[in-house]
């Protein structure tokens, strides 16, 4: 599986989604999930000769998305996006019905938003739907490249990210679950493992594969007692009745160091090896980094080389899907370190 570069899948359509503000604990702040996140990574990896720029094959379609998401939710997001008139106008959820039963959906699009959206961090604008479809297309393209044996690894620079989007809900910057789409497509090869190393638990991915024994979801993340998504990501969550043991959560405390993070990662990788997947999808979030504005971990930039190297030692076809990471200036270096570690270790396999 030796490789010196990695196919880098990118679409300029991600810039169509660019909210200006978000609401955080009583304050209006600049929206953290910015286009600059992906632009910086893309430019750095291409200029360094690590990423091989690969043209986007095209956006995903509704039929592609229905394998993991509710058609009603998808239709709703599309309708809201196309209803927005101004390029800088975004519709934010401001009311959330108590879950436990199917809420009556009002005629107002704004009123319906809280029925599907989990929080106020995922506004919908004129370009949100197109950007999301383009990002989903990148994840599917990466999986298809693996299926066609064109490569043994690929990096989909998906934006908006996706691991907080579930079967019938979206939120926390996420609209479509790109990692789950890639994993679902790769199930054509056999069993698939999804390794989530974002700072926050991927509640959407867990929900999608909760009762799927052919997919192992393994996640390292901040203790959900202390940070969102709060209601998902605990150790006792190990899979549904149809797939016991198919979910593995390792919540970590604030102050987690590079050494402790790598130790926890080794534990997850051991479980993944035992699962013997035919392919791996990595939800690649760089927000565990010590200087990320959302992180309480102390994972250093240099640790990402070791993280990449450890994942490479699994020696199985791998798709990387971009998730979080909000230290914008540091992201290009973190991505470079990660892929240098991954590709360098592959050369010895």
**Can you say whether the dihedral through the CA atoms of 103, 236, 265, 145 is positive or negative?**
negative
CA 336 to chain centre: 18
Residue 25, classed as helix, strand or coil, is coil
3-class DSSP assignment, residue 195: strand
Whole-angstrom Cα distance, residue 263 to residue 220? Answer: 11
- From the list 198, 230, 189, 194, the residue with the least C-alpha distance to 209 is 194
Q: What is the C-alpha separation between 240 and 237, in angstroms, rounded?
A: 8
Q: Is position 69 annotated as part of the catalytic site?
A: no
User: Which is the catalytic residue, given 14, 69, 164, 201?
Assistant: 164
Closest CA to 155 of 288, 3, 290: 3
Tell me the residue ranges of DSSP E strands in the chain.
6-9, 21-24, 27-30, 51-54, 90-91, 124-125, 153-156, 192-196, 215-222, 247-252, 279-284, 318-322
Query: What is the chain's alpha carbon radius of gyration, rounded to the nearest angstrom?
Result: 19
Angle between helical axes of 71-83 and 128-147 (0-180°, round to 10): 130
Backbone angles phi, psi at 25, to 5 degrees: 45, 50
Q: Could you give the CA distance from residue 295 to residue 287 in angstroms, rounded to a whole number?
A: 6
Please give the positions annotated as active site: 164
């Amino acid at each position: 599986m030796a490789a010196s570069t990695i196919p880098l899948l990118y679409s300029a359509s991600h810039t169509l989604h660019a909210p200006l503000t978000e609401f955080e604990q009583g304050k209006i702040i600049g929206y953290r999930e910015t286009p600059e996140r992906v632009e910086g990574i893309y430019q750095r990896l291409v200029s360094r000769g690590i990423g091989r720029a690969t043209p986007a094959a095209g956006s995903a379609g509704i039929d592609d998305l229905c394998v993991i998401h509710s058609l009603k939710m998808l239709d709703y997001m599309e309708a809201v996006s196309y209803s927005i008139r101004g390029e800088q106008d975004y519709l934010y959820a401001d009311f959330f019905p108590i879950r436990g039963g199917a809420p009556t959906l009002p005629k107002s699009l704004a009123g319906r938003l809280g029925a599907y959206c989990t929080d106020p961090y995922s506004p919908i604008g004129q370009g949100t739907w197109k950007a999301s479809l383009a990002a989903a297309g990148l994840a599917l393209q990466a999986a298809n490249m693996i299926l066609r044996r064109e490569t043994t690894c690929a990096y989909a620079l998906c934006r908006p990210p996706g691991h907080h989007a579930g079967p019938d809900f979206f939120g926390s910057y996420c609209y479509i679950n790109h990692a789950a789409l890639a994993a679902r497509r790769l199930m054509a090869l056999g069993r698939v493992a999804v390794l989530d190393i974002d700072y926050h638990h991927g509640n959407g991915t867990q929900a999608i594969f909760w009762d799927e024994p052919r997919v192992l979801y393994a996640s390292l993340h901040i203790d959900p007692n202390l940070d969102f998504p709060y209601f998902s990501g605990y150790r006792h969550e190990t899979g549904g009745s149809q797939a016991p043991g198919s979910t593995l959560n390792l919540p970590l405390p604030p102050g987690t160091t590079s050494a402790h993070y790598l130790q926890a990662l080794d534990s997850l990788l051991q479980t993944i090896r035992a699962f013997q997947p035919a392919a791996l999808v990595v939800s690649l979030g760089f927000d565990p980094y010590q200087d990320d504005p959302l992180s309480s971990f102390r994972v250093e930039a240099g640790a990402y080389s070791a993280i990449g190297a450890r994942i490479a030692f699994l020696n199985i076809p791998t798709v990387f899907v971009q998730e979080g990471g909000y230290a914008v200036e540091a992201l290009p270096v973190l991505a470079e370190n990660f892929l240098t570690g991954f590709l360098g270790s592959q050369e010895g396999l």
